């Protein structure tokens, strides 16, 4: 059995399960052109697209789960099936870390589609820390690329792998820069809408070592996250944390390292792992809200007033800092001016088609309302099974979409991997 955390995929009646990437995987005879079948890939299993009814799933977690840390260079190589929790557990033995997201469950897909972390403002996106990759293109060609040894012919492939890899490649190994593991201070707790408005305004002036994460489920919960690398950052952090003391619902916590933190406590009663629910998630991107914060808060309130059930929510992570400065033009994560990555989580009782229709309608209407603030897409989830897929592709890759289509036509001509 394919045991994965995403309930949509877990409940799928897949056609076949493959654990190894071999040349035979890419032979034309294996795929029915009539049904336009493509291969689903499972690296961590948190996406609804890693297993589907009647499709073949390639599960990288069994044969591609090795982690090797190199002390002399502070680089780590991971297999394409390594989940982020295992990565930082391994690195912690060496007093190192990596900018993983709010959940420890995603696999390499988290990295290859961008990788937004509370540490991103200080260290960039996960893709900004890729040093090498190995894997296969959709036509079966083996590839092995290193950051400082990219030929002109391979430059576009390298750039596209960082942000759009799932459409034309299967990555079996990634080399990553690691970071020093430092102490973390967090202020967290419940706030009301007015307090959220004040905190967002303050956060848009945060230094790079501090970031804001919030979630609006039944109530609003926030995390203000600060990494303490040196005395200067400690001093800056204290100054900002003093400004937050007036919010009575917030509590300070200290952690020896990033690995100790578990985001989003059980008090929030979130539904991601509810075995009775299916869900979809759409992730957006936008710049500083600035003077639009009051209008945004009003819009957010309307969205939450109209949510169809208590399983649905809106949340957000803060970008900026290094994510705006690093690697311009060298990846397919093109929206480098973004400060915010909100996402809309839409969930319903599985097999309840009526509720699903209501929930998906709420998700799309919420997206339309939020577009004025967040006009772009972070394609962290593949939605080729949804009507919004083409629009999402355009909003995710912008003027690089034609380059991606060219790569797809050349390196995945049978469209074995998820379609464009």
Tens-digit pLDDT profile for residues 382-418: 998 899 999 999 999 999 999 999 999 999 998 899 9
In this predicted structure, the answer to whether residue 127 has a pLDDT above a threshold of 70 is yes
| Amino acid 1: pLDDT | 63
In this predicted structure, the answer to whether residue 172 has a pLDDT above a threshold of 80 is yes
| Amino acid 49: pLDDT | 87
Query: For residue 258, is it left (φ>0), alpha (ψ between -120 and 50) or beta?
Result: alpha
Average pLDDT, rounded, for the chain: 92
Reported as a pLDDT band with limits 50, 70 and 90, residue 36 is: very low
Domains of the chain as residue ranges with CATH: 7-60 (no CATH), 67-180 (3.30.465.10), 184-266 (3.30.70.2030), 271-401 (3.40.462.20)
pTM for this entry: 0.94
**Angle (CA) 124 147 404, round 5°:** 80
Neighbours of 139 (CB within 10 A): 13
Is the distance from CB of 112 to CB of 171 less than 8 angstroms? yes
Comparison of pLDDT for 420 and 288, the residue scoring more: 288
DSSP 137-181: ETTS-EEEEEGGG--GGGHHHHHHHHHHGGGTEEEEEEEEE-EE-
In this predicted structure, the answer to whether residue 35 has a pLDDT above a threshold of 80 is no
In this predicted structure, the answer to whether residue 17 has a pLDDT above a threshold of 70 is yes
Q: Report helix, strand or coil for 126.
A: helix
In this predicted structure, the answer to whether residue 236 has a pLDDT above a threshold of 90 is no
Q: Report the pLDDT averaged over residues 223-237.
A: 88
Backbone angles phi, psi at 126, to 5 degrees: -60, -40
């Amino acid at each position: 059995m394919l045991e994965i955390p995403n309930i949509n995929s877990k409940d799928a009646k897949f056609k076949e399960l493959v654990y190894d990437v071999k040349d035979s995987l890419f032979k034309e005879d294996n795929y029915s052109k009539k049904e336009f079948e493509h291969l689903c890939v499972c690296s961590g299993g948190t996406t609804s697209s890693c297993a589907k009814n009647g499709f073949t799933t390639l599960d990288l977690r069994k044969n591609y789960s090795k982690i090797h840390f190199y002390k002399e260079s502070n680089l780590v190589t991971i297999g394409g099936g390594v989940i982020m929790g295992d990565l930082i557990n391994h690195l912690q033995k060496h007093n190192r870390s990596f900018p993983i997201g709010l959940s420890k469950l995603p696999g390499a897909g988290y990295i290859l589609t961008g990788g937004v972390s509370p540490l991103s403002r200080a260290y960039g996106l996960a893709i900004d820390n890729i040093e090498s990759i190995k894997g296969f293109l959709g036509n079966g060609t083996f590839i092995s690329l290193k950051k400082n040894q990219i030929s002109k012919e391979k430059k576009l492939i390298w750039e596209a792998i960082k942000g759009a890899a799932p459409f034309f490649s299967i990555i079996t190994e990634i080399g990553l820069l690691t970071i020093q593991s430092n102490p973390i201070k967090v202020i967290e707790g419940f706030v009301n809408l007015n307090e959220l408005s004040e905190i967002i305004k303050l956060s848009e002036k945060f230094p790079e070592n501090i970031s804001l994460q919030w979630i609006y489920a039944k109530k609003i919960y926030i995390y203000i996250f600060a990494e303490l690398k040196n005395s200067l950052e400690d001093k800056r952090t204290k100054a900002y944390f003093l400004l937050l003391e007036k919010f009575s619902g917030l509590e300070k916590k200290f952690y020896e390292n990033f690995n100790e933190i578990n985001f989003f406590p059980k008090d929030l009663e979130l539904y991601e792992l509810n075995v009775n629910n299916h869900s979809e998630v759409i992730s957006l991107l936008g710049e500083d809200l600035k003077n639009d914060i009051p209008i945004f808060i009003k819009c957010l309130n309307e969205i939450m007033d109209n949510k169809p059930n208590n399983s649905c929510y809106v949340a957000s992570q803060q970008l900026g800092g290094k994510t705006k400065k690093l690697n311009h033009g060298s990846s397919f994560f093109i929206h480098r001016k973004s400060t915010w990555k909100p996402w809309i989580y839409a969930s319903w009782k599985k097999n309840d088609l009526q509720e699903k229709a209501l929930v998906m309608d709420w998700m799309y209407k919420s997206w339309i309302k939020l577009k004025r603030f967040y006009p772009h897409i972070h394609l962290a989830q593949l939605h080729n099974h949804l009507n919004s897929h083409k629009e999402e592709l355009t909003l995710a890759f912008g003027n690089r979409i034609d380059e991606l289509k060219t790569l797809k036509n050349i390196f995945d001509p049978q469209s074995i991997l998820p379609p464009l």
